[in-house]
A and B are shown apart, each in its own frame.
Chain A
C-alpha cells in the first residue's frame, strides 16, 4: 500500500511533463480471460502522457483518429473483418476539427490518456486505451 502511494506520487509529479508510456507498459498481463491494465496505465488514466509508435494503415486520407502500434504494421486493424491485430494498440483521437496526414514514420503522440473499453459509434471499433492528442510529431 505504501509502495503504491509512492508510485502514485511519483507519477503525479511526472504528469506535468507528460509521463512517458511504453507499449510494453500497457498491460500487466494478457490471459485467455482478457487483458489486465497495468497499475501504471491505470494510474495515468486522465493524465497527460506521451507515447512513441507507428501509425497503423489508415482508413481514409485525412484522419480524425488513428491506431498507434508498437511496430510498423501491414494489416489495418479494423479495415478487414479477418485481421488479427495485436492487443497492445492505442487509439489516438485528434482534437475536433483537426486532422492528421498518414505517415510511415515513427511518431510521438502527446495527449490525455483514457483507459477502459469503448466502442466507436461509426466504425464499431472497440478500443481499450485512447489518447486524446494535443500534439503529434515526428519521433527521432
Chain B
C-alpha cells in the first residue's frame, strides 16, 4: 500500500513551496480529540505536476494501513480512512509525496485525550442551547424578568439559569474558516470538540462534491450511544432539521440538506446512530412529497415509519402531555418553526398561530423528553434548544427573542430540579453565538420615537412584571420598558416597540439590496436608520461577542473561566468520566 520515497527531501525544501504540491490533512494540525472518538481521516493533494510518482503516509512513524485512494480530477489525489480513531496521547501523521516537480511533505500533530473515571461521574447530560443567547441577550432578558427595586435600584434577582450553579464560564468561539460562526458549525464544535466550516455539521473540510460524504467526526451523543448504550434526545422550538438540533448526529457539509438530516435522525446515513426522542417543529421534512407543504423529494413518511419503529407519536400539546412513551418519543408540533412564546402564550393572533393553537411549551417538551430518555439505565444525552431566540434577533425583533429566553429559563428551572433529585445528571446552559444586541436605556411607552428614550437617571426602572401572563411571566405591555438596539443592522425603521403581527425589518429593493420595510416605517414614531451592514444583508447578524455558560449537578465544577467552545465537548466528557477508547462496548 505504502511505498518509500527515494528522492531527497532536502531538494524539495530548496525548490520551495511554489513548486510543491499542496497537501491538506484532516483532522487538521493541532486538533484535539477524545481517545476512541471516531472520525474519517482524509488527506488531499492538489496542484500535482504530472503523475503522482510516489507517496508515503505514516502515523507515528508507521505506515498507515487501510487508506482508500481516489482522485477528484487532474492534479489531485486523495486518501481516506473511514471511522478510525486514536489511542490516548500525542500523534503525528506525516505525508510525503513525489510528482514530476519534486517532493512535498506535510506533518500534522494531534492530541487524543483520556479521561479518568470519576467516583461521582455524571451519567446523564442535559445541554441547553439558547441560540444567539450571548451575555447581552441574557442580560436584557433578566432585566425584563426580574428588574430592580425602584426604591433603591437593588436588582430583584437572577434568572433560574443564573442561580445556584456549580460552574460558570464565559465562552468564545470561531469557525474553521472564519472567526464568526453560524449555528451549524458552532453546535458542531460543542458536540465534537473540533473547529468546523461555516454551514457544516460535524464534518471536516474536503474537496468532495457530495456534501454527505464529507469526513465525519463522531459527536458526544453518538459516542455515548455507541459506547455506553445511552439514549439520545433533542427538543427545540425551530424546525427539527435546523442546524443546532442537527448537530446531535447529522454529518454534512451543507446544513440545508434537510431531508438527509431527517433521515439521519432515524439512523439512515451519518454514523447510523438514531435519536430516541425528537420533539420539535418542521414536520415538512418528515412528511412525503405527495403532501402539500412537504419539503421532501421522496415518498418517505417518517410519521408512520416512526410509529412502526416503536416511537410514540404526538402532534399537539394535549397528545404530548397524555403520552406514555416507552423509551422512544417523536413529536412534530408545527409544519415549520414554532411561533414565538409571546405569540403562543400572550398575543395569540390568528395571523401568527394559524391552525397551531395547541402547542407545548419548551419546559413541557423538556420534561416529557426526560421522562422517555430516563428509562434507559445506561444514561441519556438530551439537547434542548431555545431556537427562536436567534430567529427573532436576526430581524431585530428583540421582544419576541427575549421572551423566548424566558421560556428557555423555565425549562432550565425544571432541569435543575431534576438534577437535584438525580445527582448523576449534568445540566449545562450555554449559547452557540451572540447577536449585537445592547440595552442602552429605558423607554417611556407613553411617548413616541426618540422622545421616549431615557438614559442615565432618566432611564429610571422598567415596570415589567406589573402584569403577568398565565405562566407568571411579565407581559410586554407596560408603562416603562427598555431601549434596545443592535450594533449591526441593515437599513430599517426604528420604533422601539414590539408588534403583535410580525414584520420583516427590510424588504428587497429588487436589485439585490434591501430597504427598510415601508409597512414598519408607517408605524407611529417610526424613523429610518441607515444600516451599517453590506447592502446585500437583509437582517442582523451573528457576532464575535462572548457567551455565557452555567453548569449544574455532576461535574459542573469543571466549567470555569474563559474557555473556547470546543472545550465544552471535552469537559462534558470529563464530567461523564468518559473514556471511549477503554470503554469498548
Chain A interface residues toward B at CB < 8 A = 29-37, 54-58, 61, 71-76, 80-82, 84, 87, 101-104, 117, 126, 128
Interface pair A54/B334, CB less than 8 Å apart: no
The CA of A58 and the CA of B289, in the complex, are separated in Å by 25
Given contacts A32-B315, A71-B519, A75-B538, A117 and B507 within 8 Å (CB-CB)? no
Q: Is B535 in the interface zone, CB < 8 Å from A?
A: no
Residues of B within 8 A of A32 (CB): 283, 287, 303, 315, 332-335
Mask of B243-264 contacts with A, CB within 8 angstroms, 1/0: 1000000000011100000000
Chain B interface residues toward A at CB < 8 A = 239, 243, 254-256, 283-284, 287, 289-295, 303, 315, 332-337, 354-356, 395, 503-511, 514-515, 517-519, 538-539
Nearest CB of chain B from residue A107's CB, rounded to whole Å: 12
**Cross-interface CB contact of A74 among B292, B294, B333, B395, cutoff 8 Å:** B395
Interface pair A33/B508, CB less than 8 Å apart: no
Given contacts A84-B337, A117-B289, A102 and B518 within 8 Å (CB-CB)? no
Interface pair A81/B256, CB less than 8 Å apart: yes
**Cross-interface CB contact of B504 among A30, A36, A37, A73, cutoff 8 Å:** A73
**Cross-interface CB contact of A30 among B256, B303, B335, B539, cutoff 8 Å:** B335
Interface pair A104/B335, CB less than 8 Å apart: no
Residues of A within 8 A of B539 (CB): 74
Interface pair A87/B508, CB less than 8 Å apart: no
A70 nearest in chain B by CB position:
B351
Residues of B within 8 A of A35 (CB): 292-293, 335
Given contacts A29-B355, A34-B293, A84-B336, A55 and B510 within 8 Å (CB-CB)? yes
Given contact pairs A73-B507, A74-B395, a sample of 11 additional A-B residue pairs in the complex whose CB atoms are under 8 Å apart: A30-B355, A34-B284, A34-B294, A35-B292, A54-B507, A72-B518, A72-B519, A74-B504, A74-B508, A74-B539, A104-B518
Given contacts A74-B506, A81-B254, A117 and B518 within 8 Å (CB-CB)? no
Nearest CB of chain A from residue B303's CB, rounded to whole Å: 7
Interface pair A34/B511, CB less than 8 Å apart: no
B515 nearest in chain A by CB position:
A104
Query: Interface majority SS on A: helix, strand, loop or mixed?
Result: loop
Residues of B within 8 A of A84 (CB): 239, 336-337
Nearest CB of chain B from residue A22's CB, rounded to whole Å: 13
B492 nearest in chain A by CB position:
A74
Interface pair B514/A87, CB less than 8 Å apart: no
Residues of A within 8 A of B294 (CB): 34, 126
Specify which of A31, A56, A73, A87 lies most central, judged by the most chain B CB atoms within 10 Å of its CB. Answer: A31
Residues of A within 8 A of B284 (CB): 34
Interface pair A128/B292, CB less than 8 Å apart: yes
Residues of A within 8 A of B509 (CB): 102, 104
The CA of A54 and the CA of B511, in the complex, are separated in Å by 15
Residues of A within 8 A of B355 (CB): 29-31
Interface pair B290/A29, CB less than 8 Å apart: no
The CA of A55 and the CA of B508, in the complex, are separated in Å by 9
The CA of A93 and the CA of B338, in the complex, are separated in Å by 31
Nearest CB of chain B from residue A29's CB, rounded to whole Å: 4
**Cross-interface CB contact of A87 among B243, B293, B303, cutoff 8 Å:** B293
Residues of B within 8 A of A102 (CB): 508-511
Nearest CB of chain B from residue A67's CB, rounded to whole Å: 11
Residues of A within 8 A of B515 (CB): 104
B256 nearest in chain A by CB position:
A81
- What 9 pairs between A and B have smallest CB-CB spacing? A102-B510, A81-B256, A57-B508, A34-B291, A74-B538, A32-B283, A72-B507, A34-B293, A74-B504
Interface pair B510/A34, CB less than 8 Å apart: no
Residues of B within 8 A of A76 (CB): 508
